[in-house]
């Protein structure tokens, strides 16, 4: 099926960025580990600090100029920002990495009057509810971090 090819590819790419972030975090926090399997709260846990980090890759933002923040998937089922328990999100467009708190993402959306909208992503069987944040303005509100992409 066509949708499964997209899902598998996107999952593989996303996991690669999670491991890049994990590898970099382990230099400072050796006990940090990736949560395996389906876990909505966060992707990486840092026992030394007792908090989680969510990693988001949005390569399509390089074409659209927007960072997609998922709120519900499928519509009516909370996901993404709505279910995170992470202290920080690390968002990458494949070139640069930025750190921001979930509350700061919500504040940015509110201050910029971002309305949620339904979309059906390539390979999605059902629509999701998202915020599309103007990339440059949003990244300007984040903290840019330097990560070594070679793992």
pLDDT digit string (tens) for 28-83?
999 999 999 889 999 999 999 999 999 999 999 999 999 999 999 999 999 999 99
How distant is the alpha carbon of residue 92 from its chain centre? 8
Position 98 in a domain: yes
Integer Cα distance of 18 and 22 in angstroms: 6
Kindly report the number of other CB atoms within 10 A of residue 142's CB atom: 20
What CATH number is associated with residue 48? 3.40.1350
Containing domain of residue 33, as a range? 2-145
Residue 121 lies in a domain: yes
Instruction: Assign 102 a pLDDT band (cuts: 50, 70, 90).
Output: very high
- Predicted local confidence at residue 2, as pLDDT: 54
Q: How confident is the model at residue 11 (pLDDT cuts 50, 70, 90)?
A: confident
- Is 99 domain-assigned? yes
| Domains of the chain: total | 1
Predicted model pTM: 0.92
- Answer yes or no: is 151 within a domain: no
- pLDDT for 115 beyond 90: yes
81 half-sphere exposure, CB direction, 13 A CA radius = 24
pLDDT at 117 > cutoff 60: yes
Q: Does residue 150 form part of some domain?
A: no
Q: Is residue 53 situated within a structural domain?
A: yes
Asked if residue 74 is part of any domain, the answer here is yes
DSSP letter (8 states) at residue 58: -
Confidence at residue 1, expressed as pLDDT on a 0 to 100 scale: 46
Give per-residue burial for 94-118: e unless 16+ CB within 10 Å, then b. Answer: eeebbbbebebbeebbeeeebeeee
Query: In percent, how much of the chain has pLDDT > 90?
Result: 82
Alpha helices (H) in the chain, listed in sequence order: 2-28, 61-64, 102-111, 135-140
b or e along 8-47 (b: 16 or more beta carbons within 10 Å of the residue's beta carbon)? eebeeebeebbebbbbbbeeebeebebeeeeeeebbbbbe
């Amino acid at each position: 099926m066509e949708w499964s090819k997209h899902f598998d590819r996107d999952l593989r790419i996303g996991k690669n960025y999670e491991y890049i972030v994990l590898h970099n975090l382990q230099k400072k926090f050796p006990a940090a580990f990736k949560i395996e399997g389906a876990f909505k709260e966060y992707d990486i846990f840092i026992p030394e600090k007792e908090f989680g980090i969510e990693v988001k890759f949005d390569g399509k933002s390089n074409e659209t100029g927007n960072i997609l923040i998922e709120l519900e998937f499928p519509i009516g089922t909370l996901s993404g920002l709505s279910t995170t328990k992470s202290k920080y999100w690390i968002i990458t467009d494949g070139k640069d990495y930025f750190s921001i708190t979930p509350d700061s993402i919500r504040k940015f959306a509110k201050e910029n009057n971002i309305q949620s909208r339904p979309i059906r992503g390539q390979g999605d069987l059902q629509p999701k509810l998202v915020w599309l944040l103007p990339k440059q303005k949003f990244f300007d509100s984040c903290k840019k971090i330097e990560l070594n992409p070679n793992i």
